[in-house]
Amino acid sequence: MKVAIIGYAQAGKSTFYRAAARGLAKGEVTSVPVPDERFDTIVAQVKPKKQTPATVVLHDDVEAANGAGKAFSQRFIDQAKKADLLLHVVRGFDNPISPYYTEIDPLRDQENIDVELVLADLQIVENRLERLQKSPTVKQSGSPDYLEKQFFDRVKPLLEEGTPMRAIEMNDDEQTVGRNYQFLSLKPMVVAFNVSESDAANPSAAIKTRIAELAKKETPAFCVSAPIEEEIAQLDSADQPEFLESLGLKEPASNVVIRAVYDALGLITFFTAGENDTHAWPLRKGSNALKAAATIHNEIAKGFIRAEIVHYSDYLAAGSLDAAYSAGKMSLEGKEYVIQDGDLLHIRNKS
């Protein structure tokens, strides 16, 4: 899953990228572990030789967006279209060398990017509607062109009002059309307001209000202080709690953002707890046991017999996987069992 970090120049995108990568950043693309206390608990109990967390892939290679009032460059659009999710880092700290604005205004900057994403999609819709007018099948009920026109006629006024496509209810067919056109405002988005250290734990009322407004548009938003996050990432794990407490934080804000990114991508996590390798596996919400088996290895899926399932809450209560089995908390499930977030799996298969 490709997560593209976007925003204006000097917004702190690269600083946030390095902080979220926890010192693992190599170049402009890095696989970042998804913080998960459940995985940490399982690892501490199993003590495996190898541990493999779930990850998302952050890309810090997208061109900076143009200044206010300017349309996105074609390069920006092309790069953003390749992403599965857009992570918008917004400048909320004093930066006198910013090339676009002399005053700090995170609400303006966030809104301007959102508007430009919607306008880029509106341009595609208008162009396509114009071409559909010439289609010989556009009036044939049920034809692909007819269905496409019905959909575009419906979303066009909403886009004109500034509504991002991700906030518009769509059926499966409409979602497919949207993905085919790679609409930017249909992509999941997470917003990180990059604020000063003093505002990280207690943001302004205006930003709190905007965060609430974005949530109604299916856009999770948070406050971070990227320089502080980068400093936290460089500390030993034993030194982090005291430093976080001094800042009024329970955990690094970048952890919260990465988990929100993972969730916005429509992913859950299941676990395999082995002594050689304890693994956290990302999986699409709603996927079945056969899909989970294929995620581990195609050969395991081909020989699938049954899935041994222990829910994480039962594992936690029992204290170990063996204890959960002994307490009768393991269930045998078939291929169509829908995996629940946090399930511990062992796949019985023909080897």
155-159, 222-226, 232-236, 262-266: which has the minimum mean pLDDT? Answer: 232-236
Binned at pLDDT 50, 70 and 90, residue 96 comes out as: low
- Is the predicted pLDDT of residue 98 greater than 60, yes or no? no
3-state helix, strand, coil in the chain (%, to 5): 45, 20, 35
Say how many CA atoms lie within 13 Å of 154 toward its Cβ.
13
Query: Given the structure tokens 């405002």, which residue do they identify?
Result: 185
Alpha-carbon span 18 to 228, nearest angstrom: 11
Alpha-carbon span 348 to 164, nearest angstrom: 44
Residues pairing with 103 in the sheet: none
pLDDT of residue 208: 95
Superfamily of domain 286-349: Beta-grasp domain (3.10.20.30)
- Is the predicted pLDDT of residue 320 greater than 60, yes or no? yes
- Is the predicted pLDDT of residue 179 greater than 90, yes or no? no
pLDDT of residue 134: 93
pTM here is: 0.91
Alpha-carbon span 187 to 164, nearest angstrom: 9
Per domain, the residue ranges of the chain are 2-264, 286-349
pLDDT of residue 69: 60
| DSSP output for 283-313 | EETT-BHHHHHHHH-HHHHHTEEEEEEE-HH
What are 243-293's pLDDT values in tens digits?
988 888 888 989 999 999 999 999 999 999 999 999 999 999 999 999 999
Q: H/E element holding 40?
A: helix 37-46
Q: Which is more confidently placed, 247 or 125?
A: 125
Three-state DSSP class for residue 10: coil
- Among 198, 194, 205, 204, CA closest to 95: 194
- Show the DSSP H helices in 133-252 as ranges: 144-160, 172-180, 197-200, 205-216, 226-234, 240-246
Q: What is the β-pairing status of strands 55-59 and 189-195?
A: unpaired
Write down the CATH number for the domain with range 2-264. Answer: 3.40.50.300
Q: Which is more confidently placed, 107 or 248?
A: 107
User: Across residues 205-234, what is the average pLDDT?
Assistant: 92
Residues pairing with 304 in the sheet: 349
Maximum average pLDDT range among 62-76, 241-255, 296-310: 296-310
User: Across residues 12-26, what is the average pLDDT?
Assistant: 89
| Fold matches, 2-264 and 286-349 | no
332 Cβ neighbours under 8 A, 6+ residues apart: 306, 307, 308, 309
